[in-house]
Structure formats: structure tokens, C-alpha cells
Chain A
């Protein structure tokens, strides 16, 4: 589950080789542009762009479609609500719902080329290169590291509970049982952090603190890729404004 993305971080396209700082910034601009869209046609164009990026990055289409489909289904509930509640009438309601669903799909699709084209820890470190607080990035890296450990421990606990006859039921006892399991994991993690902290101190943690990562200077081709993403964002917004009759 939490390790799905690792399969696709290896070099498969030029997006995989792009400097993570520029990649993240470029796609973030694209996401902001997408969130500004108000017409269905522009939102559809955004979906096309994002889907193009997914294909270009040679990401696993089936998995991407499954994840995107889930979000689209969730957002589709607006089709059941907005046509009846929109002050501009049912037609306006349908259009607004359509914009929401299409924008949602486009933005979910964009996350894949943005984050699934590099090992996650590299993207997270790039956040430090983008001047995010060092402490926050260190927290993110540590959390991600131990998510994988505790995912495994939860699976082991689940097996041992099932081996002793535990089944999920629709009652308070099941909830309390789950709560107990969470408590046990919390207790273990609390005890473990003391040992992790000792191991960190032993290796001089605290003098400089956190991660020290050198970033290479930006290459011209990466600069071009970033410029391309920036241009796409501008074009998308301009297209939307044009459709709304702004010239």
C-alpha cells in the first residue's frame, strides 16, 4: 500500500530525471492554475494535460485510473446535489458539478507525475531545498520511514488477533478492540522513540541537526521543462478566461 509508488520511482522518463525542486514547483503552479478554472471545457483540457503527463511519465495506467476513479466517484455526489440547490437553476448546477468533477480528476492525475516519478524521500528532501522549515522536512522523512515499519507491525498484530478468533463486527466491542490495538502500537512507538533518539544522539544529532543535502545547480534542460510547465499553467488559465468571455 504505502510502498506502491516505489515501483515507479526508477528512471522511466525525462520527468524522472528532472530536478525535484523545479518539478514540484512547476506542478504546484499547474495545480493552482487548475483550481482557478470555472468552465467545463477548460477543466476537460486540464484533464487532458494531466493524463498526457501520466502517459509521458510512463506511470502504471491501471493503478492511476483506479485511484482517480475513486475520487471521481466521490465527487460525483455533487451531481445529486448541485442541480437541485444551485441558484442559477438545474442547468447551472449540472455545469458546476461537471467542473468540480473534471477539476478533481485533473488534479488527482497531476499528483502522479509530480510525486511518483522519484523516490518519495528525494521529493521530501527537495522541499527543504525549497526553503520549507528543516524541522518539518525532518519530521516528514522520519514519519515516512516509520510508516513502513508500523504498517508491517499492524499487519502482524492483525494476524495474531485473527489467529485467536477475532473478527470485525458492527459493535462497540470491536471498536474498543481496535482502539486497544492502536494503543499498543502507540505504546511501542513511544518506547521505540527513546531508543531511536539515543541512536541519533550517539551519532552526533543536535549539533547541526536534521538533514544536510546539497542540491546541484539547475540545468538548462530542467529550466526549460519548468518554463514549459509554467507556460501550460498560464495557457490553461487564459483559455478558461477566454471561454468565460474575457476576450
Chain B
């Protein structure tokens, strides 16, 4: 889910950009040495994975996976999502350019929150990692949906119903994101658990 070019007023776009510049500067500081190619190449995988379309009702939706990005990349999740949005806008014209700021906040902030929750959850609920994976995927989508509704609402009272609709549309996506994230966490737990929340 994202906000397209042309919908939001300039002040909201500008605020999104300001927040994104700040968050990016803060999270990029930690990416040094091997973290740099790792963040880049894993972002490439997330980007490619987000092109997978999953059937939903009569239509299909593409994956977002920002919860999974948070689980795996931790603080680097924000720049990863920012990179993904830039490439998406440039290559597929999805999401738009002026909206990169708000979209990065909308998808990246929940990813950062989920990354902390997942790490905290693994420490306090050992043995429940797969369940935490579902929670990470689903809750991240929900948070993103709330932020999307919030941003739409800033465009004026006329947009309140659109905001509500957008939030409702996120409910089935939550299940999909939760399901896929569960699958990934389950796989990595068996094969290479250090990828789950131990990278910076």
C-alpha cells in the first residue's frame, strides 16, 4: 500500500520528506563495512520478493514485507525501505516520487517498531518465534495502514471515508503478510537462525 503522486498537499509531502531525511540520516550512520553490501543485497531480495503477487479474492496483491524487513535488518530496515521505494517509483512508477517521504515514513516507521518488538519478543517468549513472525508481519501492515489513513485524513475532511476504506483494505493484507512472514521465519529458524534479529 502506498500513497500516489498527486493526492496529498505539499505541506504534508514536505513533512514526510523532512521526517524521512532525519530517519535516514540516523539509521544510515550504523551501516558500515560489511553491513553496506549486506543491506544492499538483502534489500534487492526484499524488492524482488515484493514483486510476487498473491491471489486475494477475485484479484491479487503484491507483497509488502516491511515487517519481515524489520525482523531481519533491524535499524537498516529504514534505508532498505527507502531504497525499495526509490527503485519502485523509478522502474515501475509505483508510489510516485514526491510521495517517497510520506511512503517511507508510512512503511519504514512500523518496520523499525516491529524490529524492536520482535527482538524483545524473542527474548521474553523463547520458543514462540514463528508466532512472533506472524505477529510481526501482520502488525506492521496494520500500523502502516493506520499511518496511511492518518496521512489521507490530512488532505481534508472529504478524505475521511477514503482513509477508512484504505484501513479496511489492509485487513486481508495483514493475513497475507503474517502468513508469508511466518513462512520465512520458520524457514530461517531451522536453517540459519542468526538471520533472525541478530543483524544490526
Q: CB of A130 within 8 A of chain B?
A: no
Q: Are B179 and A34 in contact (CB under 8 A)?
A: no
> Across the interface, which residues of B come within 8 angstroms of A139, CB to CB?
31, 36, 39-40, 43, 79, 83
Q: Are B41 and A189 in contact (CB under 8 A)?
A: yes
CB contact list, A141-199 vs B, under 8 A: 142-147, 149-151, 154, 168-170, 172, 174-180, 182-187, 189-190, 192-194, 196-197
> Across the interface, which residues of B come within 8 angstroms of A136, CB to CB?
24, 28, 79, 82-83
Q: Which stretch from A7-15, A66-74, A217-225, A228-236 is at the chain B interface?
A: A66-74
Q: Are A176 and B42 in contact (CB under 8 A)?
A: no
CB contact list, B27-86 vs A, under 8 A: 28, 31, 33-34, 36-45, 47-49, 51-52, 54-56, 63, 65, 68, 72, 79, 82-83, 86
Question: For chain B, what secondary structure do more than half of its interface residues adopt (helix, strand, loop), or is it mixed?
Answer: helix
A-B contact pairs, 30 of them (CB 8 A): A35-B8, A71-B4, A75-B6, A104-B4, A104-B5, A104-B7, A105-B6, A107-B6, A107-B96, A107-B97, A111-B96, A133-B25, A136-B24, A139-B31, A140-B87, A142-B44, A145-B44, A154-B49, A174-B54, A176-B180, A176-B186, A180-B187, A182-B49, A182-B65, A183-B191, A185-B45, A186-B188, A186-B195, A189-B44, A190-B192
Partner of A81, one of B42, B86, B165, B187: B165
Q: CB of B139 within 8 A of chain A?
A: no
Q: Are A151 and B48 in contact (CB under 8 A)?
A: yes
- How many interface residues does B have (CB within 8 Å)? 70
Q: Are B6 and A35 in contact (CB under 8 A)?
A: yes
Complex interface bits, A75-103 against B, C-beta within 8 A gives 1, otherwise 0: 10110011011111000010010001111
Q: CB of A135 within 8 A of chain B?
A: yes
Q: CB of A18 within 8 A of chain B?
A: no
> Across the interface, which residues of A come within 8 angstroms of B97, CB to CB?
28, 31, 107, 111, 114
Q: Are A150 and B5 in contact (CB under 8 A)?
A: no
> Across the interface, which residues of A come within 8 angstroms of B55, CB to CB?
168-170
- How many interface residues does A have (CB within 8 Å)? 83
**Cα distance A46–B182 when bound, in Å?**
45
Those 10 A-B pairs whose CB atoms lie nearest each other, nearest first: A179-B183, A175-B179, A103-B6, A183-B187, A142-B40, A176-B183, A107-B5, A104-B6, A146-B44, A183-B184
> Across the interface, which residues of A come within 8 angstroms of B186, CB to CB?
176, 179-180, 183
> Across the interface, which residues of B come within 8 angstroms of A154, CB to CB?
48-49, 51-52
Q: CB of A1 within 8 A of chain B?
A: yes
Partner of B36, one of A32, A81, A88, A135: A135
Q: A179-B180, A179-B182, A206-B33 are in contact. Are A193 and B42 (CB under 8 A)?
A: yes
Question: Which residue of chain B lies nearest to A75 when distances are taken between CB atoms in the complex?
Answer: B4
Listed in ascending order, the chain B residues whose CB lies under 8 Å from chain A are 4-10, 13, 24-25, 28, 31, 33-34, 36-45, 47-49, 51-52, 54-56, 63, 65, 68, 72, 79, 82-83, 86-87, 89-93, 96-98, 157-162, 165, 176, 179-188, 191-192, 195
Q: CB of A241 within 8 A of chain B?
A: no
> Across the interface, which residues of B come within 8 angstroms of A120, CB to CB?
90-91
Q: Are A187 and B188 in contact (CB under 8 A)?
A: yes
**Cα distance A75–B191 when bound, in Å?**
43
Q: CB of A55 within 8 A of chain B?
A: no
